[in-house]
């Protein structure tokens, strides 16, 4: 079983790309820095529940979709 | 819409009680401190994805169940 940070990061990258958004654009929509988005996508950050919610809202997806 | 920390905390408390576990017992199973569990249940902590995964594993539930 992969680390949850890696699994979440892969899902996030997948959803972001499906919506045709750059890391900059998602950063802007979620009020998070582009480099933070990049690190989360690579599983380098232990993202908090508040930021998980912020990103889900920016992508218009329920949080549970990131944990299928 | 309630704060995600409150929503998650309520779900956690509900699942923990349904399994007949005390905060101490869940703390032991998840290697987290009882007071930390208590604070998370009251929405006072911005829990990280690693601890979300640890608690879900301790309760034998998929993470997505906490975000229904």
Q: What's the pLDDT score for residue B3?
A: 97
Instruction: Tell me the nearest-neighbour CA distance from A9 into chain B, angstroms.
Output: 11
Q: How confident is the model at residue A53 (pLDDT cuts 50, 70, 90)?
A: very high
What is the C-alpha separation between B5 and B1, in angstroms, rounded?
11
Interface test with B, best of A49, A57, A65, A68 (most B CBs within 10 A): A49
CA-angle at B40, arms to A49 and B37, nearest 5°: 130
What is the C-alpha separation between A55 and A60, in angstroms, rounded?
8
pLDDT average, residue stretch A13-36? 98
Q: Hey, is A48 helix, strand or coil?
A: strand
pLDDT tens by residue, B11-65: 999 999 999 999 999 999 999 999 999 999 999 999 999 999 999 999 999 999 9
Which two structure tokens, joined as six digits, stand for B42?
Answer: 């009251």
A48 and B47: CB-CB below 8 Å? yes
R_g of chain A, CA atoms, integer Å = 11
Residues of A in Cβ contact (< 8 Å) with B50: 4-5, 46
What is the C-alpha separation between B55 and B53, in angstroms, rounded?
6
Q: Nearest by CB to B49, which of A5, A62, A68?
A: A5
């Amino acid at each position: 079983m992969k680390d949850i940070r890696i699994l979440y990061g892969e899902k996030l990258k997948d959803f972001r790309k499906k919506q045709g958004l750059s890391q900059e654009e998602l950063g802007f929509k979620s009020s998070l820095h582009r480099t933070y988005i990049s690190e989360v996508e690579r599983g380098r950050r232990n993202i908090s529940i508040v930021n998980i919610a912020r990103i889900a809202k920016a992508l218009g997806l329920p949080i549970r979709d990131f944990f299928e």
